[in-house]
Structure 1
Amino acid sequence: MSVTDSSAYPPIEAYALVGNLETCALVAPNGSVDWFPFPHLESPSILAAILDAERGGRFRVGPVDPFETERRYVDGTNVLETTFRTEGGAVTVTDFMPPAGRTDHPKKVLYRKLSCTDGAVDFEIELDPQFDYGRAETTIEATDRGALAEGRDERTLLESPIDLEVENGRISGDSSIEAGDTEWFLLRCTGAEDANTDPNAALEETLEYWTDWVHDCDPGDDCAFAGPWHDPVVRSQLVLKLLTHAESGAIAAAPTTSLPEDVGGVRNWDYRFNWLRDAGFTVQALMNLGTAEEATEYFDWFMDLCQADDPAAIQPLYGLHGDSDLEERELEGFDGYRGSRPVRIGNGAADQRQHDTYGELLLAVDEMHRHGRTLDDGEWARINDIVEYVREIWDEPDAGIWEVRGGNEHFVYSKVMCWVALDRGIAIATDGDHDAPLESWQETRERIRADVLENGYDEGVGAFVQSYGTDALDATGLLVPLVGFLPFEDDRVQGTIDAIEETLVDDEIFVSRYDGDDGLPGDEGAFVLCSCWLVDALALSGRVDEARSRFESLLQYLNPLGLVAEEIDPESGMHLGNYPQAFSHIGIVNSALYLGYARGRETDGPPPMGIRLGDPVGIDGG
């Protein structure tokens, strides 16, 4: 069988996610862990069969005989249960990692509990460790507890209750289990080989942590997220927490690298970093979900980054520990998911100029400020410097939010977000009585506004376009009213929504990022976040029933566990791109928030971004 044969690779959306707030693992429906970087998300992989079915490495626990599979997360947790039903019986594999610093059990252990609930089942175990993306020489030896594998810098101890064999660089074993019996398999990673732990207590404390942490409301509560989308919102919150690094508070865009936007093509990127552009929408989602601690930790993290770098040096993305050196490299030894090459580590977009980043940072600061977070003198000095820098460079071209690799342009969204940086800077300075050159800021804000209205809106198209001098459309036009640049009732806003619906929307719910050439070969799927932006724009334009219908249709494309990738193929429904994607799940949370607000639900804090007190956000039947 060829490694590019699709049968060797489950669909992207078939995977489940577990993690410990420092790293994550992807679990296939057959019980195979096919992706596991260690010790952190951005670290080299130990298991990466998802990127090369033959050479990547995997860790499987499952039946020998043919089976049917059912999977679920224990309610309100990130503990995964996979039930296999064979002709002879049924077994359940429970996968989890204790959250870092939240229990008394070592975080560097992947727990796999095998329980037989009916009959008897023959099962097998296979571990094929491939350290450092398969580049490190691996040695394996049997021990009295199982088998120890060592690479260049990392090692794993597979603790097993059954006898194991070591052959050809792989660890394997098989046995049978009967109803009522339970076996534990522990993958102890570097630093946890000899740590004392009680697996049952680790599971109990992990379940307790997640159920105590997660958003919860009673059916009678006036929850802003109430509705048929409540469960997807809760799952999105749990995904975002898994992508949040326990030490820094930074949130990864996704736990994976190089899952393709175009299967078999070159649109394969490493997303295991934090993009500052996510800040505003992320903070809004976290604050309204009641996870103020996470929002504050994330806020403090990126404010520290702003202190470390002068505004001109602020990067669009950073490592989860604040690393700035994210050199993009290609892994020559991996074939890629279904032959999608190159497989990349690092991300060259870190070196781009993306002016929208500054506006998104100010959106986040404003969101925290509106929720009662005061800025000290040092924090305000950093914000003042950013706004002053934007005042100087707003009229220069940049790479834009989509990080096109075809050269810098005058992107309309970048200009709008420069306007946002000035607008929110003025609002925060005024409300907080901070020293600021308000007159010059106000003058520049109006210059940007006039420039965008003159050059970014095309009368012939009847819409805001992607960049100056083109008639190409961009889904970011849906954000023009959301960030307050123009009101929703403005004809230019409604014209942009209509034009995007006509040009970028497939099957009423799938929204592409843009039309036109972006300097790369191949096509991509519809962007989930952009589909959420359309829902938001419709809801806040008073078209609430239409927004609700489209949102509910979009949610049908989440996988059965509630996870979603960066993109969806409108024709097949396949998930594309890195998975699960933080921005997609943030979009789901915020769309549910806007729909709830438009339907008369209230939030504990200020109105969501883009809604001014007294705005006639209509209810047309929802």
Structure 2
Amino acid sequence: MLDPNPPLRPVHRPGGYLRLEDLGVIGDGGTVALVGTDGSIPWLCLPHFDADPVLAGLLDNERGGHFTVTAQDLREARQHYVPDTAVLVTELRTTTGLLQITDAIVVRSGADLTDDTPAGRAELVRSARVLDGTIRLDIDLRLRDGGQTNAALDGLEIRSSRRPELRLHLRASRLLNSLPVTFDLREGEHVDLVLSWGRIHRHHRFDAEDMLATTADAWRRWMDHFTYRGPQEPLVRRSAITLKLCDDWVNGAMVAAPTSSLPAPIGGVRNWDYRYAWVRDAAFTVFALRRIGFGNEADAFLGWVLDAFEQSRQPRIMYTLDGGPVPDEVADAGLEGYRGSAPVHWGNGAADQRQHDVYGEVLDCAAQWVRGGGELQPALWAKLRGLADTAESAWREPDQGLWEIRNDGRVFTYSVGMCQVALDRAAALGEQLGLPAPIDRWRASAAKLTRRILDRSWDEKAQTLSAHLDGGGVLDASLLALPLRQVVPATHPRMIATTAAIAQRLSAGDGLLYRYLHQETPDGIQGDEGAFVLCSFWLVENLIHQGQLGPAHDLYESLCARTSPLGLLSEQIDPTTGGFIGNFPQAFSHIGIIASGVSLARATPGAAA
């Protein structure tokens, strides 16, 4: 259960870095900032999610840069969100007093968070107020490259030497001539700060309280659309807001996570840039959002996927937020990496991989688009039809699979399953809309692929479906997604046996699952990794569909208990420590909270999702 009033706790900085569990996220549909329990902001990319970060202290606490508002002699801290908003409150206890910092990236007055125009005013507001006693307040803003700070008439102007086109403007409710600066404050006194970028409006009213109030109001009005009633409702509400924070409100895309190169595990080299939009995320995201009342976001993401696909010469597994190609992957030697976990990467080398699941992902999005009332123009249908024809034969060829392995490909069972999805959805679309298509052939091919999966990937000795179509009993948690994509019924005896095998053999303990075992399935990358959070939520859904509501409910509750005090989740969890690893917050993990909660609510007598 999400605690609305968490206790004050000591601030931990292992290796000089905050734990991921001790970070909150704020945003405006264009970018996000991560805010620590120590009052620091160690991550901010401007002006967009996938831009070069101006604050990257998360990846190098000495050279990365930060925007810090904190109290000297800090002893304990805690964070909470203003309910149903992305306005974050941090409280810091010292030996002499209690400081409250309220943070938000501003949403303009009157915004409803569903407009297709930029909702942000390109301003980050920080309001620090002494609640009790006295506080010595330290303020500092240091860009990743140091930058140049000059006094202006109403504050400070900060320019980045790496990006001369980017101008930052810092205003304060007290005189601000230079940085760092210290203020001695008593109970009731406060300092307000506003960091602006993009187009600077020097003459609009400086009113931090109003900025925070209108931002909170916009978020609450967006949450009026929330319809879920079921297990862990406060956490599902927070997950909805977290997904909205990962949403590009202008383009309709959604980043997999708003960070790059957070390692899994600490000290490892599995450090990737997730600030892009994966096509495979769309179907899962849309399915989850639509079921809790957010059809506008669902439709926007579906439309973005179909637009990006239609404009591409060939389908890509991921795109930039504006639908372009993802930059080549490069290592940044200038940053040491989170807790010393090099390399830091920008761009993503998996963008050009062969991954056959993309055929099914795109056609599943098209099917959901039509189901929601959308239309398919002839030119788009022609490309979708070609995609189905390609899937009919491509399944035989090795690919890099759902998990984007970086060695020679295999014929992954999940990829074959998604080729089945492509054929099934294409046949349904052709029949429903009366479109020119070989509907009977596609249906027959889809049925054959299901039979191939059940026959050729089945290992009689291990009593499980296998990660690869040649069998062998090697397990992969992606098999749990086959029922969710309607490839194999969850109640099929071989799927029931596979679910049990995965729960046992891929277990990382206490309900956590590995994606696969690296000694059985080498992926071309050094080292092991942690437990992948979404896989455990897939297990929850399989148990629900198999009628095991008690175990499903218990597993769901245990997973929800692993969220941070703010209700956030990372990509993976270190099974030895329970700590967060991988990029953060991870959209997939929050999709799992929502989708499993909806499924549990619908399967439980007397409950309503």
Give 3-state SS (helix, strand or coil) of 2:534's partner. Answer: helix
Greater shift, 356-365 or 378-387, is seen at 378-387
Cα distance per residue 1:498-539 (max 9 Å; x no partner) = 110110013241011012221111111100100100001001
Structure 2 residue corresponding to 1:486, chosen from 469, 485, 488: 488
How many angstroms does 1:493 deviate by?
A: 0.5
Task: Confirm whether residue 177 of structure 1 aligns to residue 190 of structure 2.
Answer: no
Structure 1 residue corresponding to 2:14, chosen from 6, 30, 46: 6
Give 3-state SS (helix, strand or coil) of 1:108's partner. Answer: strand
Q: What percent of counterpart residues are identical? A: 35
How many angstroms does 1:105 deviate by?
A: 8.7
Structure 2 residue corresponding to 1:50, chosen from 49, 58, 72: 58
Task: Confirm whether residue 249 of structure 1 aligns to residue 252 of structure 2.
Answer: yes
Task: Confirm whether residue 194 of structure 1 aligns to residue 208 of structure 2.
Answer: no
How many angstroms does 1:363 deviate by?
A: 2.5
Residue of structure 1 in register with 2:39 after alignment: 31
Task: Confirm whether residue 348 of structure 1 aligns to residue 349 of structure 2.
Answer: yes
Residue of structure 1 in register with 2:505 after alignment: 503
Summarize the alignment of residues 83-482 of structure 1 with structure 2, pairs less than 5 Å apart: 83-99=91-107, 103=111, 107-130=121-144, 134=145, 138-151=147-160, 152-164=164-176, 166=178, 171-192=179-200, 194=202, 196-197=204-205, 198-214=207-223, 224-227=228-231, 229-310=232-313, 313-469=314-470, 470-482=472-484
Which amino acid letter does the alignment assign opposite residue 155 of structure 1?
A: R
Contact 1:74 1:80 in 2 (8 A): yes
Contact 1:156 1:193 in 2 (8 A): no
Which amino acid letter does the alignment assign opposite residue 550 of structure 1?
A: L
Residue of structure 2 in register with 1:540 after alignment: 545
Structure 2 residue corresponding to 1:77, chosen from 69, 75, 85: 85
Change (3 A) 1:224 1:207: closer
How many angstroms does 1:372 deviate by?
A: 4.0
Contact 1:475 1:514 in 2 (8 A): yes
How many angstroms does 1:467 deviate by?
A: 1.3
Give 3-state SS (helix, strand or coil) of 1:212's partner. Answer: helix
Which amino acid letter does the alignment assign opposite residue 255 of structure 1?
A: P
Unaligned residue ranges in structure 2 (runs of 5+): 1-12, 112-117
How many angstroms does 1:362 deviate by?
A: 2.4
Summarize the alignment of residues 575-594 of structure 1 with structure 2, pairs less than 5 Å apart: 575-594=580-599
Report the Cα distance in structure 2 between the residues aligned to 1:92 and 1:527, rounded to whole angstroms.
Answer: 35
Change (3 A) 1:449 1:567: same
Report the Cα distance in structure 2 between the residues aligned to 1:409 and 1:389, rounded to whole angstroms.
Answer: 18
Cα distance per residue 1:91-142 (max 9 Å; x no partner) = 2111001237964996211100112222222211011112xxx3xx722222
Report the Cα distance in structure 2 between the residues aligned to 1:36 and 1:601, rounded to whole angstroms.
Answer: 44
Which amino acid letter does the alignment assign opposite residue 165 of structure 2?
A: D
Report the Cα distance in structure 2 between the residues aligned to 1:427 and 1:603, rounded to whole angstroms.
Answer: 29
Report the Cα distance in structure 2 between the residues aligned to 1:102 and 1:565, rounded to whole angstroms.
Answer: 32
Which amino acid letter does the alignment assign opposite residue 577 of structure 1?
A: G
Report the Cα distance in structure 2 between the residues aligned to 1:27 and 1:271, rounded to whole angstroms.
Answer: 19
Unaligned residue ranges in structure 1 (runs of 5+): 218-222, 605-622
Residue of structure 2 in register with 1:611 after alignment: none
Cα distance per residue 1:407-445 (max 9 Å; x no partner) = 211000000110011112112222233221112212321
Contact 1:283 1:368 in 2 (8 A): no
How many angstroms does 1:160 deviate by?
A: 2.3
Summarize the alignment of residues 505-524 of structure 1 with structure 2, pairs less than 5 Å apart: 505-515=507-517, 516=520, 517-524=522-529
Give 3-state SS (helix, strand or coil) of 1:294's partner. Answer: helix
Change (3 A) 1:480 1:601: farther
Give 3-state SS (helix, strand or coil) of 2:281's partner. Answer: helix
Contact 2:90 2:102 in 1 (8 A): yes
How many angstroms does 1:13 deviate by?
A: 1.6
Report the Cα distance in structure 2 between the residues aligned to 1:375 and 1:106, rounded to whole angstroms.
Answer: 32
How many angstroms does 1:266 deviate by?
A: 0.6
Report the Cα distance in structure 2 between the residues aligned to 1:315 and 1:401, rounded to whole angstroms.
Answer: 13
Greater shift, 565-574 or 58-67, is seen at 58-67
Greater shift, 375-384 or 345-354, is seen at 375-384
Change (3 A) 1:301 1:602: farther
Contact 1:257 1:344 in 2 (8 A): yes
Report the Cα distance in structure 2 between the residues aligned to 1:113 and 1:486, rounded to whole angstroms.
Answer: 53
Give 3-state SS (helix, strand or coil) of 1:52's partner. Answer: coil
Greater shift, 560-569 or 476-485, is seen at 476-485
Report the Cα distance in structure 2 between the residues aligned to 1:194 and 1:405, rounded to whole angstroms.
Answer: 50
Cα distance per residue 1:438-471 (max 9 Å; x no partner) = 1221232133223323322212211111113343
Change (3 A) 1:105 1:592: closer
Cα distance per residue 1:10-56 (max 9 Å; x no partner) = 11121100011000001111000000010001000111111001000
Report the Cα distance in structure 2 between the residues aligned to 1:363 and 1:540, rounded to whole angstroms.
Answer: 21
Report the Cα distance in structure 1 between the residues aligned to 2:398 and 2:265, rounded to whole angstroms.
Answer: 28
Give 3-state SS (helix, strand or coil) of 1:194's partner. Answer: coil
The number of aligned residues is 583
Report the Cα distance in structure 2 between the residues aligned to 1:129 and 1:33, rounded to whole angstroms.
Answer: 11
Contact 1:316 1:354 in 2 (8 A): yes
Contact 1:399 1:408 in 2 (8 A): yes
Which amino acid letter does the alignment assign opposite residue 91 of structure 2?
A: T
Which amino acid letter does the alignment assign opposite residue 124 of structure 1?
A: D
Give 3-state SS (helix, strand or coil) of 1:477's partner. Answer: helix
Report the Cα distance in structure 2 between the residues aligned to 1:513 and 1:371, rounded to whole angstroms.
Answer: 32
Change (3 A) 1:7 1:215: farther
How many angstroms does 1:378 deviate by?
A: 4.2
Give 3-state SS (helix, strand or coil) of 2:494's partner. Answer: helix
Report the Cα distance in structure 2 between the residues aligned to 1:59 and 1:158, rounded to whole angstroms.
Answer: 11
Contact 1:529 1:584 in 2 (8 A): yes
Contact 2:229 2:601 in 1 (8 A): yes
Change (3 A) 1:225 1:380: farther
Change (3 A) 1:27 1:553: same
Which amino acid letter does the alignment assign opposite residue 586 of structure 1?
A: I
Change (3 A) 1:379 1:106: closer
Contact 2:427 2:440 in 1 (8 A): no
Greater shift, 361-370 or 522-531, is seen at 361-370
Contact 1:279 1:363 in 2 (8 A): no
Structure 2 residue corresponding to 1:597, chosen from 573, 597, 602: 602
Contact 1:248 1:301 in 2 (8 A): yes
